A and B are shown apart, each in its own frame.
Chain A
Amino acid sequence: MTTSRIERISYDDETVRRFMLASIVFGAVGMLVGLWAALQLAWPALNFGIPYTTFSRLRPLHTNAVIFAFVGNMMFAGVYYSTQRLLKTRTFSDALSNIHFWGWQLIIVAAAITLPLGITTSKEYAELEWPIDLAITLIWVVFAINFFGTLAKRNEKHLYVAIWFYIATIVTVAVLHIVNSLALPLSPLKSYSVFSGVQDALVQWWYGHNAVAFFLTTPILGIMYYFLPKAAERPVYSYRLSIIHFWALVFMYIWAGPHHLLYTALPNWAQSLGMVFSLMLWAPSWGGMLNGLLTLRGAWNKVREDPVLKFFVAGITFYGMATFEGPLLSIKSVSALGHYTDWIIGHVHGGALGWNGLMAAGMFYWLTPRLWNKPLHSKAAADAHFWLATVGIVIYMVAMWASGINQGLMWRALNPDGTLVYPSFVETLLAIRPMYIARALGGGLYLIGFVMMMWNLGKTIAGAKKVDGAADVTVVEAEPQPGVGAVLAGRPLWFSAVGLVLMLGFFAADSLFVGVVLAQAVLVVGELAYLLNQKRKDGTGGLSWFGLIERRPLAFTVLTLIAVLIGGVAEILPTVLVKQAVPASGESQKPYTALELQGRDLYVREGCYVCHSQMIRPMTAEYQRYGEASRAEEFIYDFPFQWGSKRTGPDLHRIGGRYPNLWHYTHLMDPRATSEGSNMPSYGWLKEGRIDARLGGKKLALMQKLGVPYTNDDIDSAVTAQEAQGAAVVADLKLGGVDLEWNSEMVALIAYLQRLGRDVGVKPLAEAPKTAALGGK
């Protein structure tokens, strides 16, 4: 027997207001830093000679700020607002909401302090050091408790599709963050990844790709499914399509990470798997986009009048463009051209500025008048913002497409005799400089539009009183819950299980052909048998299986986690196989000396990986320019890996021994003295900085724990060994008239650079191509 009563619910909109304002403020800061970094690529002196404001340190600050501070805070605002209304209840705990808000802002402040200081793990979009990683985990758990607590006390039985996307976000981000952040601490502000080389690259890009998927995409899709119908005043085009959109997206997205590593030392089959799933992702992504756009059927006239809808429509369209371009770039032959180039920068900004930025603006323009109970100050200003933003994005993307394709074509251009048409890397930099200036212009327009929004929303809020939403809801008590058995007996679950068993059988079969035929035959016979014998069984009061699932958040969460983990396991498994395939005896990579390790840490601190890759792909032009292709076994002691993802400068994997020490010193002091036209900043402060030689032994000891074969003698004699190796570099530099201390940071970095790519099995330098390909004249 159930009873029901009417209860007045007051929503917690103060948390929504806080997250929204934080997003706007940090968004402006993050974009300003991005603009500054972009200008430095055209005018490198704009770092003003200060290490903290140099491109290679600003770029991680920019990406972290816009991803976690701008989009993160925007996402939390949208989640808190829509979840309460969709579940017809106030958030579980105001105290947890407060902890979540202030904790997240503290994390952002910590990032803003540590990243310019060079305190970084060097793993892209996961640069923050271990104490901050722990804080992120803690605050994410607070968010999860608050969210699932709200689910538990809800007054609406069924979970609307937006809630599913939020559930997927919370569980997946937790898994990704924890696995990718596994590290051994050296000190309170320095740690080393527990993964190395190929394994580290796979884990990092499994994380990196899915950070885009589950931090920048799924929560914003949830927001789209709630706020777009709100703004359009009509339900979503197809609720059924949204169900397919959700399950297809969360299942497929997690497999696609290896498309970031095409033509690298990753096993070829893993690359192909990543490519295939990336191509398949196109279908659910466009299903979601069309579902969003078609929601406006019969209401397109509103788009002309309402700035909110303008932003939403353009945002969803950019989502469609980015999710078309992503699969395109995942095709290996396209990736061969586009990888390491500015094309990728154009692609991600189409998603970030277009999808995330415009959806955020639309949501802010919709929320502000409702949270302060006052009409928007200026619709004309909002319209102007829309056009500035749209034109800005287009200029930005076109500039980066032109620049990227230009780079890719120039890098690979060969003369009939097989030599490089453009042997000097700097030639490409000079060719794309106008595009860098155009990109800064596009970004600048976008930022001006954003500042106009700040002014507009500020004027709206000024003098207005805050209001909170409230509703009368029917509270049903003693509601009978569907049993766990009914959930587990669902046919889709059984189909999935049978599919997995078939796949395992396929892999277990000796003959590939027999495996395929058997598996397909069993599947087809099973399907026919099921279809022929199907009878409607409905003993649950009329609710379908999916209806039951929607009423059980725990079951729903577990199923989502399973869908995500299948792909995750399939990607982690290769890392285990790769580990077995790579010699662990040190035959293919000699462990770094203590001084080289110190230099490597400086390479990480300065963010050299931001502009330089250490992964030569197996292509003729790359061989001509950089030397022999990189192999997996050459990175087994690289904790963390330094493959990079962008070549603003040339690849450095085989830089060791190619130039004298004096060249490196001169280049680091003034890059344009050795490579006229280079846009690399000067790193003069390395000359004055000193390494702490005592840390050398500690670092070796920690590496020993991670499996690097250092002896105890190596550890005990680390200080004297550093001094001896440093003194040799110093003596060589002295011949060129340069006086340095052996413990100068410059010496350690040169020692590391001279060591790169010179392991056992690599062809002697005498056989390496004799070109001036790395930037010299």
Chain B
Amino acid sequence: MSVIALQVFVSLTLVALAVVLFVWTVRERTLEHSERLSLQPLDEERKEEHR
């Protein structure tokens, strides 16, 4: 099998998939909670002596 044809096929498939997922993501607002999640590491904490 010609590897060029295989690469073209895999590449076009991935590009098409990426376009669909991008449009779908924008329209569905899939990641609407991402701003809240990105703040997770910044939560404050207290210190207590090790027992």
Q: Which residues of A contact B (CB under 8 A)?
A: 10-11, 13-14, 82, 85-86, 156, 158, 160-162, 225-227, 229-230, 233-236, 239-240, 243, 268-269, 272-273, 276, 370, 373, 465-471, 491-492, 495, 499, 502-503, 506, 512-513, 515-516, 519-520, 523-524, 527, 530-531, 534, 536, 542-547, 550
Contacts and interface: CB of A to CB of B under 8 A. Distances in A.
Given A492-B21, A523-B13, A523-B16, A13 B41 contact: no
Contacts of B50: 13-14, 465-468
Contacts of A520: 9, 12-13, 16
B16 A544 contact: no
A527 B16 contact: yes
Interface in B11-51: 12-13, 16-17, 19-21, 23-24, 27-35, 37-50
B48 A512 contact: no
A158 B46 contact: no
Nearest to A520: B12
Contact of B30 (A229, A373, A527, A544): A544
Contact of A467 (B13, B30, B49): B49
Given A469-B48, A531-B20, A534-B24, 16 more contacts: A160-B37, A162-B41, A234-B42, A236-B38, A272-B7, A276-B7, A465-B49, A467-B47, A467-B49, A469-B47, A495-B21, A502-B13, A516-B8, A544-B31, A547-B32, A547-B33
The B contact surface, by secondary structure, is helix
B47 to A, nearest CB: 4
Contacts of A499: 13, 17
B40 A527 contact: no
A515 B40 CA distance: 47
Looking at chain A's contact residues, the main secondary structure is: helix
Contacts of A227: 41
B45 A512 contact: no
Given A373-B47, A527-B20, A516 B33 contact: no
Contacts of A85: 41, 43, 45
28 contacts: A14-B50, A160-B41, A161-B37, A226-B41, A230-B42, A233-B42, A234-B42, A235-B38, A269-B1, A370-B47, A373-B47, A466-B49, A469-B47, A470-B46, A491-B24, A495-B17, A499-B13, A506-B9, A512-B5, A513-B5, A516-B5, A519-B13, A527-B20, A534-B27, A536-B28, A543-B33, A547-B32, A550-B37
A305 to B, nearest CB: 19
Contact of A86 (B12, B19, B32, B40): B40
A574 to B, nearest CB: 13
A162 B38 CA distance: 10
A522 to B, nearest CB: 11
Q: Which of the four size classes fits the interface of chain B?
A: 35 or more
A530 B29 CA distance: 17
B51 to A, nearest CB: 8
A240 B34 contact: yes
A575 to B, nearest CB: 18
A512 B33 contact: no
Contacts of B38: 229, 235-236, 239
Contacts of B41: 82, 85-86, 160, 162, 225-227, 229-230, 235
Contacts of A240: 31, 34
A196 B20 CA distance: 43
B32 to A, nearest CB: 7
Contacts of A11: 45
Contact of B27 (A10, A234, A269, A536): A536
Given A86-B40, A235-B42, A524-B16, A272 B3 contact: yes
A229 B1 CA distance: 48
Contact of B48 (A10, A160, A546): A10
Contacts of A547: 30, 32-33
B13 A269 contact: no
A470 B23 CA distance: 42
A273 B42 CA distance: 41
Contacts of B16: 520, 523-524, 527
A86 B39 CA distance: 10
Nearest to A272: B3
Nearest to A225: B41
A162 B41 CA distance: 10
Contacts of A544: 28-32
Contact of A160 (B8, B24, B40): B40
Contacts of B44: 471
